[in-house]
């Protein structure tokens, strides 16, 4: 009975949370469509199809996907260049950029599917925590800045800031929405606070007769006719109209590769964030395949493609949506808005949706950053600030890539400084170098400097029980060192090398097999090699 009650509660939460998310998806999808330079329905169809497919096939229940700004900003130049190319066709076409977009999204999806099949999703684990903190902070700022554009209206074809009574009404409704979302859970958690807030503010605006910006006016001010449309249909004619040539592939492939990378990075980092919030674990490789499948279908059916949406995912989780049903309900509700409920959804005040997104900003931003920024290593603090700024200024892919590179360089530099060599001399005059720390490209110079080739005795032992040969740079350094000793007529013995290090050395330089000692009597060696094998 308790299990049935829990499942019933989860179903209710998923359904109500899905409806809340669907309402928040509408202006976002429309806005991103206009950013990309395409019709609002192209963004709404993408939000529906990507959200629906990933909710069913994805590796993270409760995560919401749809059209995103991170992808839209890349699509701007794609659509623009595509339109210019279409005018040079034998039969000129004005909206050829849209056709190129569909083809690019399909190719993007194929790349993402391959990433999942080759299990590349696991590499998201290599993203350091400071990069994650910078990512969520930057994304929170981006979401916040995006909402500021809602405090404008169109006058004589130009967007100007709200003033006077209009501004104060907008601010009051935004604050009221945020207050409902904050205080309602303290009274009851049986219904999503976000949905209650949106419905309450909508009813106040309608029955109070307030002249405020709504979803409908937002679409019209942006150049659209509304969000009403039919079922998405395959755009095969549009795709077949594109020139089937190497030139077309050369044009769309770079865009597809960038879009695939941005989409997967944002999706997998959102997956990690939701994992932390819910104390569960998603499947990164499964999510890659799901995102790719969704984008292939979206491109075929005339959508602009998409990926995971951190804002809507946070809304879903905060409102109790933890299962796949929440994403399915959100996408189907969005489709029903397009088909049947456009007139009602267009009545929703923008201020209510802005209030919801402001609460997402507050929940997304890592406020603990201000507490730990002075306690963590300065390099980690720099990475957090760097990733935050790059996320705001450029895009997610650039920010995360730069953060990972900087973190890797710092790690390599710190590891390079840890190489040590303890020197002892045996009774028979043999000089022993006990190496401590990893031997890799960053530490090879310091490693070579530890040895005195000319001043050392005729027999040298280099003990690697506390070290490991990591890469080709290390192999070359060791091979060069052995060569220098042998050119002086001295004998070098390499001791306590693990089996994988032996294979690496001998494969690169077969001569090293003559200086590697294989008969080991030191019990410490077996302890170390067993630990390495288990790792």
pTM, entire model: 0.75
Name the residue with tokens 């390079």: 416
The set of long-range contacts for 224-227, using a CB threshold of 8 Å and a minimum separation of 24, is: 224/30, 224/34, 224/39, 224/40, 226/342, 226/346, 227/26, 227/30, 227/40, 227/41, 227/44, 227/337, 227/338, 227/342, 227/345, 227/346
Q: Can you give the pLDDT at residue 300? A: 96
Distance CA 320, CA 189 (A): 9
Q: Can you give the pLDDT at residue 57? A: 95
Domain boundaries, the chain: 10-407, 417-534
**Cβ partners under 8 Å of residue 193, min gap 6:** 180, 181, 182, 184, 185, 318, 319
Question: What does the pLDDT look like over 274-320, one tens digit per residue?
Answer: 998 888 889 999 999 999 999 999 999 999 999 999 888 988 998 88
Question: What does the pLDDT look like over 16-64, one tens digit per residue?
Answer: 999 989 988 887 787 778 767 788 889 999 999 999 999 999 999 999 9
Query: Any idea which fold 417-534 has?
Result: Transcription Regulator spoIIAA (3.30.750)
Q: Can you give the pLDDT at residue 9? A: 58
Which tokens belong to 340? 């049947």
pLDDT of 532 strictly over 60: no
Stronger pLDDT, 95 or 452, i.e. the higher one: 452
pLDDT of 82 strictly over 70: yes
Which tokens belong to 224? 């659209």
């Amino acid at each position: 009975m308790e299990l049935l009650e829990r499942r019933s509660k989860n179903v209710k939460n998923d359904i109500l949370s899905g409806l809340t998310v669907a309402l928040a998806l509408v202006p976002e999808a429309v806005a991103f469509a206009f950013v990309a330079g395409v019709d609002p329905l192209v963004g709404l169809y993408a939000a529906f199809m990507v959200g629906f497919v990933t909710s069913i096939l994805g590796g993270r229940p409760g995560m919401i996907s749809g059209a995103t700004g991170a992808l839209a900003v890349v699509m701007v130049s794609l659509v623009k260049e595509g339109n210019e190319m279409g005018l040079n066709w034998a039969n000129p076409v004005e909206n050829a950029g849209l056709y190129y977009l569909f083809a690019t999204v399909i190719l993007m999806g194929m790349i993402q599917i391959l990433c999942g099949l080759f299990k590349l999703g696991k590499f998201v684990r290599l993203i350091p925590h400071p990069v994650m903190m910078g990512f969520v902070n930057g994304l929170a700022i981006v979401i916040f800045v995006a909402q500021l554009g809602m405090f404008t209206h169109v006058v004589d074809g130009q967007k100007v800031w709200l003033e006077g009574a209009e501004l104060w009404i907008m601010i009051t409704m935004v604050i009221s929405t945020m207050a409902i979302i904050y205080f309602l859970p303290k009274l009851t958690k049986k219904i999503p606070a976000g949905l209650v807030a949106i419905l309450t503010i909508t009813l106040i605006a309608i029955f109070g007769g307030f002249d405020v910006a709504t979803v409908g006016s937002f679409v019209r001010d942006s150049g659209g006719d509304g969000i009403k449309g039919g079922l998405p249909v395959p755009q095969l004619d549009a795709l077949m109209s594109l020139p089937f040539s190497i030139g077309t592939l050369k044009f769309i492939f770079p865009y597809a590769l960038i879009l695939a990378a941005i989409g997967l990075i944002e999706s997998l980092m959102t997956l990690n964030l939701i994992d932390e919030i819910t104390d569960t674990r998603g499947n990164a490789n499964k999510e890659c395949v799901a995102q790719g499948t969704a984008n292939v279908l979206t491109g075929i059916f005339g959508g602009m493609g998409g990926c995971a949406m951190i804002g809507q995912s946070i809304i879903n989780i905060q409102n109790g949506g933890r299962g796949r049903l929440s994403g399915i309900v959100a996408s189907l509700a969005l489709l029903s808005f397009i088909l049947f409920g456009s007139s009602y959804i267009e009545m929703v005040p923008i201020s209510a949706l802005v209030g919801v997104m402001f609460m997402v900003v507050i929940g997304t931003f890592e406020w603990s950053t201000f507490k730990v920024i002075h306690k963590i290593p300065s390099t980690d603090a720099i990475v957090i600030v760097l990733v935050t700024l790059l996320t705001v200024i450029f895009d997610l892919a650039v920010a995360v890539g730069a953060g990972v590179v900087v973190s890797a360089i710092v790690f390599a530099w710190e590891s390079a400084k840890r190489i040590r060599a303890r020197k002892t001399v045996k009774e028979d005059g043999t000089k022993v170098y006990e190496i401590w720390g990893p031997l890799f490209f960053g530490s090879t110079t310091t490693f070579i400097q530890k040895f005195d080739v000319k001043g050392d005795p005729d027999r040298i032992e280099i003990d690697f029980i506390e070290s490991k040969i990591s890469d080709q740079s290390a192999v070359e350094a060791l091979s060069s060192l052995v060569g220098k000793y042998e050119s002086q007529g001295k004998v070098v013995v390499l001791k306590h090398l693990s089996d994988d290090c032996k294979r690496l050395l001998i494969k690169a330089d077969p001569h090293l097999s003559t200086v590697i000692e294989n008969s080991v009597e030191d019990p410490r060696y077996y302890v170390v090699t067993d630990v390495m094998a288990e790792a």
